[in-house]
Amino acid sequence: MKVGGDAYRSIWVEDDARTVGIIDQTRLPFEFVTTRLESLDAAVEAIVRMRVRGAPLIGVTAAYGVCLRMRTDPSDAALRAACKTLLATRPTGRNLRWALDAMGAALDAAAPAERERRAYARAAELAEDDVRSCRAIGEHGLRVIEEAFERRGSRGAVNVLTHCNAGWLATVDWGTALAPVYRAHERGIPLHVWVDETRPRNQGASLTAWELGQHGVPHTVIVDNAGGHLMQRGLVDLCITGSDRTTATGDVCNKIGTYLKALAARDNDIPFYVALPSSTIDWDLADGAAIPIEERAAREVGVVAGRAADGSVVEVAILPPGSPVANYGFDVTPARLVTALITERGICDASAEGLVGLYPEPRAPG
């Protein structure tokens, strides 16, 4: 997608065919800074500090983390240890495990001398696969925006509400929830996006608003609690969010607060779609309640970063000293609240039957 008119992906291999370029997402929206990952440790740090985030991008970054390790030590022990360390970085998203399984399958049987070359080739395939999937999600999801536009008749732009950042910064390119938005915008369908700010890290306000702004997509940032009110007033035509892990029965786990939007959407008869590549599907899980929910540092809730009047980026404390904090990163929206899943293979019911209809191939238990 575009940054200042130039095409970018969120991750790439640099010209030296070795180091890995990323956009440091902790610096947005105030500064656009790219940085190089030169080692496994740097890849781990980038995921843990959320320089890269979003389930699909975390998966691809982990794959490149394995590549960086295979450069210095292609032994079995180093491969196993790298996968173990990477897997422990963020517990909720499924794509991380998916990417590491794919890397393991490609490298396990290879002779150590072959591993570096194979690792880079496989990681590049995973990145391309993600781009293809997200582009296809955009094509399929375009239909639901077109339908919403038709339902509006002559009443102007379609209003889409989204939560967190499930745009191109969360994937390698295009995004999941935002891919249909970008396709509709390219098609000239008038649309406007309500962007939940997404406390505590503000991925909506900092990243989604920035992305949409770069592409000229009309949008408005709202506080997290505004969505229900807008729905009651008829100001939302449909919701689209992403998913970090999707159960085989269609429950979806996404950024904390997603569930409340789904509840409000149901109460107001507003379609609630979840867009996801199949790399988020956990075929071994039937119940969303079993998904591990990441609990993050109290500091994220108690300290807010922003730009001061003199242009510097500063942090300010917002809590009474000593107040305890709970910081759950994700929540689970039960399948019954999801209108449909938008995947790279098409749109299906959020149910076991719906998912198996699109993905009928046999799967070995994970």
Which residue's CB comes closest to ligand MRU? 242
Taking CB under 6 A as the criterion, the residue among 10, 171, 279, 339 binding ligand MRU is 171
Residue 141 as a binder of ligand MRU (CB under 6 A): the answer is: no
Q: Omega of the bond prior to 360 within 30 degrees of 0, cis? A: no
Smallest gap from residue 36 Cβ to ligand MRU (A): 21
Smallest gap from residue 292 Cβ to ligand MRU (A): 14
Q: Helix 112-152 crosses helix 55-72 at what angle (to 10 degrees)?
A: 170
Residue 279 as a binder of ligand MRU (CB under 6 A): the answer is: no
- What is the C-alpha to C-alpha distance for residues 51 and 68, in angstroms, rounded to an integer? 17
Amino acid at 32: F
Residues β-bridged to residue 192: 159
- Asked about 244 being catalytic, the answer comes back as yes
Taking CB under 6 A as the criterion, the residue among 11, 164, 179, 350 binding ligand MRU is 164
* Residue reference for tokens 């002559």: 154
Residue 199 as a binder of ligand MRU (CB under 6 A): the answer is: no
Q: Coil, strand, or helix at residue 347? A: strand
Binding to ligand MRU (CB under 6 A) within 311-330 occurs at 329
- What is the C-alpha to C-alpha distance for residues 50 and 45, in angstroms, rounded to an integer? 8
Taking CB under 6 A as the criterion, the residue among 42, 82, 166, 355 binding ligand MRU is 166
Q: Where are the alpha helices (DSSP H) in 14-54?
A: 40-48
- What is the C-alpha to C-alpha distance for residues 202 and 192, in angstroms, rounded to an integer? 19
Parallel, antiparallel, or unpaired for β 313-317 and 303-307?
antiparallel
Residue 180 as a binder of ligand MRU (CB under 6 A): the answer is: no
Taking CB under 6 A as the criterion, the residue among 141, 204, 242, 271 binding ligand MRU is 242
Q: x/- contact string, 284-313, with ligand MRU (CB under 6 A)?
A: ------------------------------
Amino acid at 231: M
Helix (H) or strand (E) holding 245, with range, is strand 245-247
Taking CB under 6 A as the criterion, the residue among 40, 44, 170, 230 binding ligand MRU is 170
- 59 vs 74, beta carbon nearer ligand MRU: 59
- 170 vs 239, beta carbon nearer ligand MRU: 170
Question: φ and ψ at 72, to 5 degrees?
Answer: -95, -30
Helix/strand/coil (H/E/C) assignment for every residue in 221-237? EECHHHHHHHHHCCCCC
Residue 202 as a binder of ligand MRU (CB under 6 A): the answer is: no
Selecting among 129, 196, 244, 331, the annotated active-site residue is 244
Catalytic annotation, residues: 244
Name the site residues for ligand MRU (rule: CB under 6 A).
53-56, 164, 166, 170-171, 176, 203, 242-244, 254-255, 329
